[in-house]
Chain A
Amino acid sequence: AQKVTQAQTEISVVEKEDVTLDCVYETRDTTYYLFWYKQPPSGELVFLIRRNSFDEQNEISGRYSWNFQKSTSSFNFTITASQVVDSAVYFCALSEERAAFGSGTQLTVLP
């Protein structure tokens, strides 16, 4: 069975600090996909990134970066120079067609 663990329930940082959100997954599949979603206070989940299991290159998009390490079954998400608008709940997910979501990490960025 697939499982995603986001051990950090809540994180608070001060604006401009860097913050890393952890995601650890379990799967028996050799081919799989990992996702990150953002849920701002308004409620809708927004898709941020997808990674496939064959591509371990780190990815950077502006202030966001993702570190995928198969050896540790982790797919961590780092926000550099955090901003108040980054405050949200962030979900990591592992695919099958139904997807297994982690329990989410509430990130609060204080001004």
Chain B
Amino acid sequence: SQTIHQWPATLVQPVGSPLSLECTVEGTSNPNLYWYRQAAGRGLQLLFYSVGIGQISSEVPQNLSASRPQDRQFILSSKKLLLSDSGFYLCAWSRRGSNQPQHFGDGTRLSIL
């Protein structure tokens, strides 16, 4: 069966510090991968989307970046965090095809001080 691991679960970082959140998927190959942010409420904001190694689509301009160094690894990074980067970050994967549901990790709660 497929599993998705996302870590860390919680993170407290000072403004201006770097960020690296990691997400890995097991039990499937060539998945679509996604990073979402959910800020202080409910809406899910799609940040990045990847259909393959090195292929990243950015949905919103920001000081975050994403990389996919391996097929089942998706990393969310920042060189300098802002207060506005606080939120709940979710990684998700899906099989190819528009009929496929997304499967989410447990999320990372990021607080910027």
Contact = CB atoms under 8 A, between A and B. Distances in A.
Say whether A associates with B: yes
A47 B101 contact: yes
Interface residues on A, range: 20 to 34
A29 B75 CA distance: 32
Contacts of A89: 42
Given A35-B101, A91-B44, A95-B99, A44 B49 contact: no
Interface string B94-113: 10111111111111010000
Interface in A23-66: 31-33, 35, 37, 39, 42-47, 50, 52
A108 interface: no
A104 B96 contact: no
Contacts, number: 64
A8 B57 CA distance: 31
B61 interface: no
A47 B103 CA distance: 7
Interface residues of B, number: 27
B49 to A, nearest CB: 5
Contacts of A35: 101-102
A33 B44 contact: no
Contacts of B104: 37, 44-46
Interface in B28-74: 32, 34, 42-44, 46, 49, 51, 57, 59
B76 interface: no
Contact of A44 (B43, B57, B101, B105): B105
Nearest to A44: B106
Nearest to A51: B99
A98 B92 CA distance: 11
Contact of B44 (A31, A42, A46, A101): A101
Contact of A104 (B42, B59, B92, B109): B42
Given A97-B96, A104-B42, 12 more contacts: A31-B98, A35-B101, A43-B107, A45-B102, A47-B102, A52-B99, A91-B42, A93-B102, A95-B98, A95-B100, A98-B34, A103-B43
